[in-house]
Amino acid sequence: MKKMLLALLLTALLNNSFAQKMWLCKAGETSFFSETPMENISAVNKKVAAIIDESKNEIAVKMVMADFKFKNHLMEEHFNENYMESEKFPNGTFKGKINEKIDFSKNGTYNVTSHGTLMMHGVAKERDLTGKMVIENGKITLTAAFNVPLKDHKIDIPTIVMAKIAEEIAIKCNWTFTPKN
């Protein structure tokens, strides 16, 4: 009986320790903003999926480009058909290594950097992204802001609308992670 209780206790402890190794974000928010003297353009994607592998200190993010929503339907159509070519390149991804060692078991706020690959419009570019990670009550909130030059990902802007679209797009991310069960 004692051996059985010990085995059950060890199994419960091991399962609990492995359960905290992966963190999932199922509906994160990523937005972008393009500012020019002629026109500002913004859109939000509230269906971003991401995972943090605590044991490897890695993060992976995936978003469907067609899930970006604009205030103006025509802008959304142009974004998907003319610029991002969302049918040909449906997803944007980032996979990287979190440079700092984080104690995921303790509440706290951490400035983090991640070196990895940003894939957009079929073009992969190595990037160093910075953000803030807040661990509180069994959840992780990760926020980040960075700029993406359109030319880095071969996103062509027709000359006729060039004055309306910035050469660098400001990206903001706000993702909440919970432990994967």
Higher pLDDT, 181 or 81: 81
Structural domain boundaries, residue 107: 27-179
Higher pLDDT, 69 or 15: 69
Lowest-pLDDT range of 21-30, 133-142, 159-168 = 159-168
Task: Quote the pLDDT of residue 140.
Answer: 97
CB 129 within 8 Å of CB 160: no
**Is the confidence at residue 39, as pLDDT, over 50?**
yes
Task: Quote the pLDDT of residue 2.
Answer: 45
Per-residue pLDDT reduced to its tens digit, 142-151: 999 999 999 9
Task: Quote the pLDDT of residue 57.
Answer: 96
Residue 82 lies in a domain: yes
Q: Write down the pTM of the prediction.
A: 0.83
Task: Quote the pLDDT of residue 82.
Answer: 86
Residue 20 lies in a domain: no
Task: Quote the pLDDT of residue 20.
Answer: 52
Residue 163 lies in a domain: yes
Task: Quote the pLDDT of residue 103.
Answer: 94
Q: CATH number, domain at 75?
A: 2.40.128.110
**Is the confidence at residue 127, as pLDDT, over 50?**
yes
Residue 9 lies in a domain: no
Overall average pLDDT of the 27-49 stretch? 91
Q: Closest Cα partner for 98 from 62, 143, 129?
A: 129
**Residue 15 backbone phi and psi in degrees, to 5:** -60, -40
**Is the confidence at residue 152, as pLDDT, over 60?**
yes
Q: Closest Cα partner for 139 from 109, 98, 115, 97?
A: 109
**Is the confidence at residue 68, as pLDDT, over 70?**
yes
CA distances from 59 to 15, 16, 19, 40, 124 (A): 22, 21, 17, 31, 16
DSSP structural state of residue 65: G
Residue 22 lies in a domain: no
Residue 94 lies in a domain: yes
Task: Quote the pLDDT of residue 162.
Answer: 66
Residue 12 lies in a domain: no
Cα 116 from Cα 158, distance rounded (Å): 30
Structural domain tally of the chain? 1
CB 68 within 8 Å of CB 43: yes
Q: Which helix (H) or strand (E) holds 44?
A: strand 40-53
Which of the four pLDDT bands, split at 50, 70 and 90, describes residue 17?
very low
Lowest-pLDDT range of 35-39, 48-52, 145-149 = 35-39
Task: Quote the pLDDT of residue 1.
Answer: 45
Residue 4 lies in a domain: no
Overall average pLDDT of the 95-122 stretch? 97
